[in-house]
Structure 1
């Protein structure tokens, strides 16, 4: 690997958004310009057992491509499954290899920083895709709710929206012996004839397969199905309840910046509606901001806050 000499070079940082499906590596200068970017495979240790070494290997490739022209002032890594890694050991390994400042954070915090940018000091991010996690930041205090994996939490995610609907179907059928109109539509959507067919969906497929069927509820809601609309709003309310818990833990003021990330919530306005309504009923006035569309820019704003660039 080439050395990080800094003579007459432009200062940059490398920001890494390591997700469960893919990982983005972006090199950015002091003015937020992306001078190089590349995507790799899963960077989450919850999905990829080799995530830590895979990230280092890809970082070496990125580093070597830019070091002749740029001075790498810091590397910021936002990782899904962050809590599964020995933080101190991994940071020490990265510092030893790249001889630069290292910031190792969760992907949810990276997403929050991409929303706050350099315009807001405090705020909230609700991430809801296949899974779900919520981060609140106030006066330097960061708190997370949800995000413990689908076996423990993640309500309001695409996966639990599907799973809990099926649980409701099972309960209704066992207790009352019927399926609601939307439940019947869902069975037809999956080409299932009996409840036992759902075992195939949940026990013989990875998490994302069940989660992909959350699209069914969005499509039915778009057609005006009141049951689908109510179900999406309900799942938004669950996210809102967890968001309120996070806000209380950081003693957030009533008004704050808030943004949403993830393929499910970004395409489900009724989920957002239920979430925001829950926040307002709890006495909060969120300022909804879009921030940067790509969470990888959160690394740039963290580097600015730390005065690396």
Structure 2
């Protein structure tokens, strides 16, 4: 008897800090998972994006596999046809797949969080941030997500930058002391804070590097540091401001979340409190972003049903 050959679907969540990859068959059973480096091509370049993706594929042991459908959510790209097209053509040079689709990483996070729901909203707080939703007709609506130069409130980057600015004000004699002062000096390897200019303007560091300090800020906020708490609350309030406009546009009160900043229980509770003031509750996502990418990859060739969703949920239970 000939052995059944499964169709293989590739889902990728290429975020600002890491690239997560998963492969499943047409029943939604996971065949492999892998992790690579930062996937925002504006930050690490197209070759850096390729390197992170290939590292994730090697980690999963699928670098030589051929896929019936591949769906990639990519940080910093995919909202415009021009951006998606550029990445798509680049992927065609090395990714073995019959069909390749590219979209922004927040969209795959949205699909994963909603599961089988047709409409709803998620709050994304990772290296960057955004409030994004989809309506009954499949149209995407968003608030934020304009990048670190124009502002990503609630993101790991903005939280870290706000904390560093407060530390600089202390050094200038304009702000109260905070344990963040010594933390930044130690983690950035500074002799004194005059070295900050060299650190940021003479040396090249990806956005994910500064964003990584958000964990430190969360830790001190949870331990009661007043300045850390003020920084986190300020970011939460500004981020949650985007929920009501998007919920109104998509005509849904379902709100979920995605992104590494939500790993902080302190941050998540603050978001829940601010949402309650607007009359919303924060719901747990059905799937991680890479699961959303797999749902979209499968949907290119067949209808995704509840059984497929349940298989994905079971196998991706411990994948973030």
TM-score range, shorter chain: 0.7 to 0.9
1:189 aligns with 2:183: yes
Q: Give the total of aligned pairs.
A: 288
Q: Contact (CA 8 Å) 1:265, 1:272: kept in 2 or not?
A: yes
Q: CA distance change for structure 1 residues 193 and 8 in 2, over 3 Å: closer, same or farther?
A: closer
Q: CA distance change for structure 1 residues 55 and 215 in 2, over 3 Å: closer, same or farther?
A: closer
Q: Partner of 2:237 in structure 1?
A: 237
Q: Partner of 2:274 in structure 1?
A: 278
1:98-125 Cα deviation digits (max 9, x unpaired) = 563332111111112221122x222222
Unaligned runs of 5+ residues in structure 1 are 1-6
- The separation in 1 between residues aligned to 2:54 and 2:181, in whole angstroms, is 45
TM-score, normalising length from structure 1? 0.76
Q: Contact (CA 8 Å) 1:201, 1:210: kept in 2 or not?
A: no
Q: Contact (CA 8 Å) 1:22, 1:39: kept in 2 or not?
A: yes
TM-score, normalising length from structure 2? 0.74
1:143-199 Cα deviation digits (max 9, x unpaired) = 23322221111121122112223434556777xx443132xx222223368653443
Specify the structure having the higher radius of gyration (Cα).
Answer: 1
- The separation in 2 between residues aligned to 1:51 and 1:35, in whole angstroms, is 26
- The separation in 2 between residues aligned to 1:303 and 1:224, in whole angstroms, is 44
- Give the C-alpha shift of residue 240 in structure 1: 0.6
Q: Secondary structure at the match of 1:259?
A: strand
- Give the C-alpha shift of residue 138 in structure 1: 2.1
Q: Secondary structure at the match of 2:292?
A: helix
Q: Partner of 2:132 in structure 1?
A: 135
Q: Secondary structure at the match of 1:31?
A: coil
Q: CA distance change for structure 1 residues 154 and 201 in 2, over 3 Å: closer, same or farther?
A: farther
- The separation in 2 between residues aligned to 1:43 and 1:213, in whole angstroms, is 19
- Give the C-alpha shift of residue 65 in structure 1: 3.9
